[in-house]
Amino acid sequence: MARVPLIAGNWKMNMTVAEGVTLVKELMPRVDGLGKVEVAVCPPATALHAVGRALADSQIALGAQDVFWAASGAFTGMLSPPMLIDVGCTYAIVGHSERRGRFGKPDESLSPEAAQVFGDTDASVNLKAKAALGYGLSPIVCVGETLPEREDGRTDEVVAGQVRSCLAGLSAEQVAGLALAYEPVWAIGTGRACEAPEANRVCGIIRSVVRDAYGAAAADSVRVQYGGSVSEKNAHDLISQPEIDGGLVGGASLDATKFSQIAQVASVIAKDMRYA
Ligand code: 13P
């Protein structure tokens, strides 16, 4: 099996330009040269250009936290795939639960009217994934259930439905080349990661949905990451699971020591185990 794990850091709304550049300068010597792992950082839009330049001679890839589907036009505040490629991005996260307005820790100050700013749906995520692929950006498509959905026993149905809808209309080759991130909403930013065997089970369901819709070759190639309170402490347990091809890391990606340790763990697992 030839899947190389992907460790991507989602910096979310953190880091000035100077802080971001300092962080990747600390990361590069710790991560460059690791075999059998791909590492990416996804800074906020304001830092993409500078961080991209700092990464020029590095193996660390640059990703955006979101992307719009049109190439240009009257879309105030949006960033198109060609704009992201222009500053050096090769990845774009799409459909993160926070962009869908699905939060693990409800924010009482966010009224329903204000929450509309986080308006992504499976349909918009599908447009974004298609556009990203059309321009040569690799999407990291996020899916995951909320706590009420899990408690209602609807995890598998919710996640499978998101995968089908978000990937609708893509070719098997396109699906083979993208990454899906299973991020249970209740595990994000809570310090309460999903238990590794359960994360592995849901990632396996995601892969089986891909197999049913796009065939065995796409299912064997597509990378299914886990995200939600990944740390340097639980990384080995999670990433050594057979269905989990790396992590989408939030908080721990803001710390060069922790993030590079997660990348090192993934590299060792990939060398030792199923990727040999
Ligand atoms: P945390 O690692 O901070 O839980 O965030 C996960 C996440 O949402 C990554 O996209």
**Of all residues in the chain, what percent are helix, strand and coil, respectively (each to 5)?**
45, 15, 40
Ligand 1-lining residues (CB < 6 angstroms): 10, 96, 183, 188-189, 227-230, 248-252
Whole-prediction pTM: 0.97
Look at residue 261 and tell me if it is in a domain: yes
Compute, in angstroms, the gap from residue 269 CA to the centroid of ligand 1. Answer: 21
Compute, in angstroms, the gap from residue 184 CA to the centroid of ligand 1. Answer: 10
Among 7, 10, 232, the mutation site with the greatest number of ligand 1 atoms within 8 A of its Cβ is: 10
Q: Which CATH number goes with the domain that contains 203?
A: 3.20.20.70
Look at residue 170 and tell me if it is in a domain: yes
- Mind listing the pLDDT tens digit for each residue in 127-180? 999 999 999 999 999 999 999 999 999 999 999 999 999 999 999 999 999 999
Q: How many domains does the chain have?
A: 1
Domain that holds residue 208: 6-275
Look at residue 1 and tell me if it is in a domain: no
Look at residue 138 and tell me if it is in a domain: yes
Compute, in angstroms, the gap from residue 207 CA to the centroid of ligand 1. Answer: 21
d(CA 203, CA 189): 20
Q: In the prediction, which pLDDT does 271 show? A: 85
d(CA 45, CA 211): 34
Residues serving a catalytic function are 96, 183
d(CA 49, CA 34): 24
